[in-house]
């Protein structure tokens, strides 16, 4: 299983940054790589989301479940998608210059031998690019609001 973490500091209050990241169904409006994002099931602090994106020319579609802790973290795991397992969390931390947001991914393609190669050459590249695009888009939106 591979573990990746990407972080960015956003010059905006934690309430604002969290509100933008939490509204995952709005991602296609300001993230060109996210093609669809629809909340398909919602509870008090839980939800399931069906999404699709294109990064590095790779089209991907998945369903994930997440648990939300306002202004602290969003924990998620993939229900359906390319990887055997995919999960992680968004962490929100108040810092002197605003808000630090970290996006962690843990994933396993689930194929012996060749799976490790696929993880390192394809999925890792896709997750790196997707994470940086996502965090950058949230930063741009939060700092322009």
CATH at residue 77: 3.30.530.20
Looking at the 3D structure of the chain, how many domains does it have? 1
State the distance between the two ends of the chain, measured CA to CA, in whole angstroms: 38
**What pLDDT score was predicted for residue 23?**
96
Range of the domain at 9: 2-144
Over residues 85-94, the mean pLDDT reads 91
**Residues whose CB falls within 8 Å of the CB of residue 125, separated by 6 or more in sequence, listed in order:** 56
Query: What is the spatial distance between Cα 70 and Cα 91, in angstroms, rounded to a whole number?
Result: 10
> What pTM, to 2 d.p., does this model score?
0.88
Over residues 88-106, the mean pLDDT reads 95
Q: Would the pLDDT of 115 be above 70?
A: no
User: Number of helices (H) and strands (E), helices first, in the chain?
Assistant: 4, 7
**What pLDDT score was predicted for residue 20?**
97
């Amino acid at each position: 299983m591979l573990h990746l973490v990407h972080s960015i500091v956003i010059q905006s209050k934690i309430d604002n940054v969290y509100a933008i990241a939490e509204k995952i169904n709005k991602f296609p409006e300001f993230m060109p790589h996210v093609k669809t994002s629809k909340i398909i099931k919602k509870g008090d602090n839980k939800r399931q989301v069906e999404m699709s994106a294109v990064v590095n020319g790779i089209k991907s579609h998945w369903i994930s479940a997440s648990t939300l802790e306002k202004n602290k973290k969003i924990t998620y795991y993939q229900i359906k998608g390319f990887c055997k397992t995919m999960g992680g969390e968004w962490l929100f931390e108040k810092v002197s210059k605003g808000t630090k947001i970290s996006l962690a991914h843990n994933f396993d393609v689930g194929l012996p031998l060749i799976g490790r190669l696929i993880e390192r050459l394809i999925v890792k590249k896709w997750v790196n690019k997707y994470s940086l695009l996502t965090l950058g888009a949230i930063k741009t939106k939060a700092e322009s609001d």
